[in-house]
A and B are shown apart, each in its own frame.
Chain A
Amino acid sequence: MANHEIIKVENLWYTYLNGYTALKGINIEINSKEFIAVVGANGSGKTTLIKHFNGLLKPTKGRVTVYGMDTRTTSVAELSRYVGVVFQNPLNQFFEETVEDEVAFALKNFKGNVDSEEIARILRELGIEHLRRKSPFEASLGEQKRITLASVLVYEPDFIVLDEPTVGLDYKSKMRLLKILTELYGRGKIILVVSHDIEFLAKAPLTRIIILNNGNLVFDGFPREAFYNLPLLYSSRLVPPQIPDLIIRLNLEKHFKPLNDEEAYEIVKSLVKEALVDVRKRY
């Protein structure tokens, strides 16, 4: 697969049947391995946007190209081979008797045959191998979300999209998910997360953040810039992560821009070290 122009969104407009225009002239280019966050208030168009990546929605105006394929003329099934979309509610997709069968479903549809070894491997990676023969309905929410992720990973798309993956999860489960996504990104997959969980995103190795506000794309760039731009965040009905909020109030943002408490602590440590070195130098 050529690595340029993986996704190209050109002047995308989308209006629903009831007349509501959810996307107003969006332009995005994704050219290489990235870890992207799409954020915005509820109703800003985030979910509408990602449904264009695998052809579930076709543009009202404009064009979306995925790995060179125009979504207007390519089927959802075809596009979904390359773009794996993990939706928010696991109960919207579970229907098999065992987790193994559930995860195999997409594999059956895309590759025809089912490799149980492959499935077992993916379940192990996600820490849910013990659920292999159990019903997906018996799993906890965190486990269910990992089952839906496994269902997509199993047929190895290069581009993985997750719609609000952390809603309803406790902190431990969120960190586990973050670790999994970071590993996948490290292996060369493109990860796109739609989320309004700002503290989760503040800990993720994001290469890029896209902010939608009422159907308009208002920001596309580095996370540090976005998280430290309070007017931008508030006008998009977002809340800054606590650490940037703190740094700004302490008037220190010109000197450092940590996104989360770990980065902030590193900065404090090095400051203290410097101060100690200074003190030692003097005495």
Chain B
Amino acid sequence: MTYENNEDPIIKLENLTYFYPNTETPAIENVNLTIYKGEFIVIAGPSGGGKSTLCRVLNGIIPHFYGGELKGKAFVNGVDVKNSTISELSRYVGLVFQNPVNQIVNLTVEEEIAFGLENMMFQPEVIEERISWVLEVLNIEHLRNRPTYALSGGELQKVALASILALKPEILVLDETTANMDPYSAREFLELLKKIWNETGVTVILVEHRLSEALQHANRLILFNRTVVADGIPREILKSDLLEDMGIEVPPVARLSKKIGVDNLPLNVEEAVEVLKEWLIMK
């Protein structure tokens, strides 16, 4: 499934600059970004580069929860972030954070998934439908009545995702959600995200360090360090030295291919196999 390059972007940031309260240097500066409905975007960059700040602007936590000064323009789903509320923006933007333990508030999985829907005053019948749907999509029906303290790391993050997904947001923003997971769970989680993107057409914005796993799913890569450093097709950006210069992980197979001098850089091992077979034959 590909994204539609509409006339109307779903997110538009113009000259966006943000100062946390009592700071003199901006966390993000002159950010210009246009995102269209249905894209699957990976944002990568060094730690401390403002990626989390950017995520939080998208659902209004910045500036409404943190205060500080937000300059420039930020429109999400047509709504001006500065003049809206976190609650309103949360109808369109689902933000999943890095540490699932601190996102889960209830004692059972079912209650957790219902949480946001209850706060937004959805009727019990609708809540029931959403819970069933989300449990099925994420393959976690067996966890429905599980107490939340008895969940593994991977399961916790799936439940956190489920709780957000149940709200059916137009835009899913995930801020380093696989950071604390083991590689197997991380891989599973990202594949699940791809599946959801395929089935629902939701716009996905993934802030990730694990490019080896995440890049293959994306149609667009943004390199971010206080501002947008690069923005385009993952394969193209990999060809440049930008990732190395910024200290960002380049997938080993891509790094190898680059050194060898292959033109079409692979984003995962399967692609690398094809690419290198061709190269070997050429040699």
Binary interface encoding of chain B residues 173-211 relative to chain A, with 1 for a CB under 8 A from any of its CBs, else 0: 000100111111101000000000000000000000100
Chain B interface: which of A9-17, A178-186, A234-242?
A234-242
Interface residues in B117-157 (C-beta closer than 8 Å to A): 152-154
B260 close to A268 (CB less than 8 A)? yes
Residues in B with CB closer than 8 Å to A140 are 47-48
On whether A265 and B256 interact (CB within 8 A), knowing A171-B209, A246-B272, the answer reads yes
Contact A246 B273 (CB under 8 A): yes
B residues within 8 Å of A by Cβ? 46-48, 98, 152-154, 176, 179-185, 187, 209, 212, 247-249, 251-253, 255-256, 259-260, 268-270, 272-273, 276-277, 283
Chain B contacts for A167, CB-based, 8 A? 179-180
Residues of chain B with a CB closer than 8 A to A238's CB: 182-184
| Inter-chain contact B249/A171, CB cutoff 8 Å | yes
Determine whether the beta carbon of A242 is less than 8 Å from that of B252: yes
- Beyond the given A238-B183, A241-B252, A261-B253, please list 6 additional residue pairs across the A-B interface where CB-CB is below 8 A: A41-B184, A140-B47, A170-B47, A173-B47, A239-B187, A242-B251
**What separation, in Å, do the CA atoms of A65 and B73 have in the docked complex?**
63
Give chain B residues whose Cβ lies under 8 Å from the Cβ of A42.
152-154, 181-182, 185
Most A-side CB within 10 Å, residue of B176, B180, B252, B276: B252
CA of A238 to CA of B187, assembled, Å:
10
**CB distance B260 to A265 under 8 Å?**
yes
Supply 19 A–B pairs (Cβ within 8 Å), ascending by A. A141-B47, A142-B47, A167-B179, A170-B248, A171-B248, A172-B46, A202-B252, A237-B184, A237-B185, A238-B184, A242-B252, A242-B268, A242-B269, A243-B253, A246-B253, A250-B276, A261-B252, A261-B259, A275-B283
Chain A 215-256 residues near chain B, CB threshold 8 A: 237-239, 241-243, 245-246, 249-250
Pair B283/A249 contact, Cβ less than 8 Å: no
Tell me if A168 and B252 are in contact (CB < 8 A).
no
CA distance A205 to B46 in the complex (A): 25
Q: Is A272 located at the chain interface by the 8 A CB criterion?
A: yes
Tell me if A169 counts as interface (CB < 8 A to partner B).
yes
Complex: chain A residue closest to B248, CB-CB: A171
Q: Bits for A31-54, please: 1 = Cβ < 8 Å to B, else 0.
A: 000000000011100000000000
- Does A199 have its Cβ within 8 Å of any Cβ on chain B? yes
Looking at the assembled complex, report how far the CB atom of A229 sits from the nearest CB atom of chain B, in whole angstroms. 16
Q: Mark A156-167, 1 if CB is under 8 A from B, else 0.
A: 000000000001
Q: Cβ of A237 and Cβ of B182 under 8 Å apart? A: yes
Say if the beta carbon of A260 comes within 8 Å of chain B. yes
Q: Is A198 an interface residue (CB 8 A)?
A: yes
Contact residues in B for A202 (Cβ distance below 8 Å):
252
How many Å lie between the Cα of A276 and that of B32 in the bound state? 49
Report the Cα distance A260→B212, complex, angstroms. Answer: 13
**A196-B252 in contact (CB<8A):** no
Q: Which residues of B contact A170 (CB under 8 A)?
A: 46-47, 209, 247-249
The reply to whether B47 and A198 form a contact with Cβ atoms under 8 Å apart is no
- Shortest Cβ distance from residue B241 to the other chain A in the assembled complex, whole angstroms: 14
CA distance A250 to B256 in the complex (A): 14
Residues in B whose Cβ lies below 8 Å from that of A243: 252-253, 256
Known contacts A238-B184, A261-B255, A249 near B47 by CB under 8 Å: no
When distances are taken between beta carbons in the complex, the residues of chain B under 8 Å from A198 are: 183
- The interface residues of chain B lying within 8 Å CB-to-CB of A249 are 269-270, 273
A30: interface (CB < 8 Å): no
CA distance A238 to B183 in the complex (A): 7
Least CB distance from A109 to B in Å reads 30
Q: Please, how many angstroms separate the alpha-carbon atoms of A175 and B255 in the complex? A: 15
Is A57 close to B, CB under 8 A?
A: no
Instruction: Collect the chain A residues with CB atoms within 8 Å of residue B249's CB.
Output: 170-171, 199
Q: Which residue of B lies closest to A141 (CB)?
A: B47
B252 touching A260 by the CB < 8 A rule? yes
Residue of B nearest to A197 (CB): B183
With the chains together, A181 CA to B46 CA distance in Å? 21
A173 and B272 alpha carbons, distance in the complex (Å):
27
Please indicate the chain A residues that have their CB under 8 angstroms from the CB of B277 in the complex.
250
Contact between B180 and A199 (Cβ–Cβ < 8 Å)?
Answer: no
How far is B243's CA from A172's CA once the two chains are assembled, in angstroms? 11
- Chain A residues contacting B154 (CB-CB under 8 Å) are 42
Interface contact A246-B269, CB-CB below 8 Å: yes
Q: How far is the CB of B145 from chain A (nearest CB, A)?
A: 20
